[in-house]
Amino acid sequence: MDNPAREEAAQRKRIEKTAKRQLIVIWSIFLVCFTGVAVHIYMLQTAEAEEHLRARSERQSAGSMTLGAGGESELDGHRGYIYDRNGFELAISVETPSVFVHPRKIVDKGKAAVELSKALEMDLGAVRQVLDKDVSFAWLVRKTTPEKGAAVKALNIHGVGTKRESKRYYPGQELAGQIIGFAGIDNVGLEGLEATYDKNLRGSVLKVHGTRDARNHMILMTDAPRLNDLEGSSLVLTLDQYIQKVAETALERVSKKFSAKSPVAVVLDPHTGEVLAMANWPRFNPNRYRDYDKDAMRNRAVLDAYEPGSMMKLITYASAVDRARVRPNDPVSQDHGKLKIGKHTISDTHAIPNMTAELVVSESSNIGAYHLAQKLGKEGFYNYLKSFGFGRKTGIGLHGESAGILWNYTKWAEVMFANIAFGHGISVSPIQLATAVGAIANGGKMMRPWLIREIRDVDGDIIEQGSPQEIAKVIEDKSAQTVMRAMERVVAEGTGMRAWVKGYRVGGKTGTAQKIDPKTRTYGHEYMANFVGIAPIDDPNVVVVVMVDAPRPQHSGGFVAAPVFAEIVSQILPYRGVYPKSVDDGIADPFDKEAYRAAARRAADAPPIVAPHRPESCPQTVTVPDFAGMTAYHALQFAKANCLGANILHAGYVTAQWPPSGSTVSAHTRVELTMANYYK
């Protein structure tokens, strides 16, 4: 009995032991499988995270991950783009290879230097100098071309590698170069909008924690970051690339024609304050910023201030009309062309019989401007100058903006009071002047000038949005209309006839300012030739300021700068949907300048106009202008203002001319003008 019982107990123990072993094996297999799956999932997640980062970076041409020696790495977001108002790319980021070396790992430095110098087209000595450094890492060249990067990789030199980096590129080349500025080798903005809005554009740098496997691959210990959170914001500007190009081309032409130093132009929407163009000459290409000196990078429209000359008479007249209730036909003494103030004498270039307040502007009388300012007194005139924005920054939002110079009226001697009235003893920037005249074009409401329409994130969502901002109501609407009538008269029959634009009513004011010699601190022999205008004058769409530095041999604003205004306006108004008027529109023929001048005189109740005087001096040769569409009366005046004579054949409007426009002829040549009673 005992033996069978013991046998049964032993059998039961053997079964239990076998079952335990089987259970242990099963659990072991399960644990091994579970661990393997978990490790695989972990590796897959981290690999996918890295691949996600890499793919996103490549797909967006974004920044790069800098892998540290330990468990910490840096991930850079790429720099935001800059666009014009219509989406034209002005600044973008592209990926380019940079070449680095580990000098201590390079075995044959002599051979490596020769091969690298050929591949990179670098000086052999410069390459060898880098390879001979006793350091573990050094850059050989940053942000080179893809072709050179590929050539280096093909060499397969131990201790030499390439790394993709984000590089700034400017598709417009020289277009708006001084406004855009540039970012340096490390993608930090150094000039222009690139510097002013560097924090918005640059993006973020994120430190990523992880470890490395046996092959030195990064294994992330944290979740993969969203690259969108690192990307820099993009700027959308108020600038229009077409209008900018028109303005820059016009400046190039006037600079070459008159050997001018650095002309500037600003095109402003007076109703919103949006800057449509801000042109400087010579141009600056931010892609090659190392090839230029600091002076070439200056945005003179904002950073520099100049004496405005007779353009200031617009502000003087506007102030007198608004405050002293001066009327256009009020008589103003010219003091026989000369006026003594203490030891100083103020003079006009020509006599103006029966001078009126409006003729002070259209015929540009210095003495008359002083008498108009006297009606306000020093304090009253000073307050108007301040309200028009002179002596303070406009707030356009660019680093280094000039406030200009406007001394407090308590420091004005009487002769300084007179000088300021006609544009000397005061300095203004082109953007200040455009803003002030913009107030006249906008019914007396002065708008803050601005350049940034929108700041957008990487998804295109608007983060910040600019909008028109009224600074002040500087004069009444009625006063502004009175000033614009005087401006129209300047172009119709005054000093600004070369600003006339066929098919449009335009107005403006010339200015010629003698420059101060920086060595003697007295007035020298160079001039600023200036013009500011509104177009169209009957329904303002743009304000244009043109300032030409040191033209020669001619230096008057009417001769040098006014045609630049006409060139710009004639191209940008149709582009902006403002078309020239014609007989088919059922309105008065805009080419009948005599009728148009008569209407202007009736509106202002002004006396008959004195024929415009010939320029003080004429060059030996002149360029024949386009007389098409002019009446005989206007053609004769236009010829005289251009140092030419005219023979009129028949009556009506000019339909043909000889020599043709653009021809170069001797001064005082008589142009034959054929007239007809229609204009095609």
Tokens standing for residue 3: 């033996």
**How far is the first Cα of the chain from the last one, in angstroms, to the nearest whole number?**
138
Q: From the CB of residue 499, how many other CB atoms can be counted at a distance below 10 Å?
A: 32
Answer for the pair 76, 166: CB distance below 8 angstroms, yes or no.
yes
The separation between CA 223 and the C-alpha centre of its own chain, rounded to angstroms, equals 43
Residue corresponding to tokens 């200036």 = 530
Strand partners, 340: 345
Within the chain, what is the greatest distance between any pair of CA atoms? 156
Q: Which two tokens stand for residue 6?
A: 């013991």
d(CA 336, CA 332): 11
Phi-psi region of 577 (alpha: psi -120 to 50; beta: other; left: phi over 0): left
Q: Which residues contact 425 (CB under 8 A, 6 or more apart)?
A: 307, 407, 416, 419
Cα–Cα distances (Å) from 39 to 34, 246, 385, in that order, read: 8, 64, 76
589/580 Cα distance (integer angstroms):
11
d(Cα 74, Cα 298) in Å, to the nearest integer? 35
Q: How do strand 462-465 and strand 275-280 relate by DSSP bridges?
A: unpaired
Contact of 286 with 180, CB cutoff 8 Å: yes
**Residue 310 falls in the annotated catalytic set:** yes
Compute CA distances 349 → 338, 346, 486, whole Å.
Answer: 10, 10, 19
Give the type of residue at 378: K
- Among the options 262, 310, 365, 570, which is catalytic? 310
Q: Strands 338-341, 264-268: parallel, antiparallel or unpaired by DSSP?
A: unpaired
Residues near 108 by Cβ (< 8 Å), separated by ≥ 6?
none
Nearest 5°: phi and psi at 438?
A: -60, -35
SS3 state of residue 338? strand
CA angle 160, 166, 172 (to 5 degrees): 130
| DSSP β-bridge partners for residue 462 | 456
Q: Which residues are catalytic?
A: 310
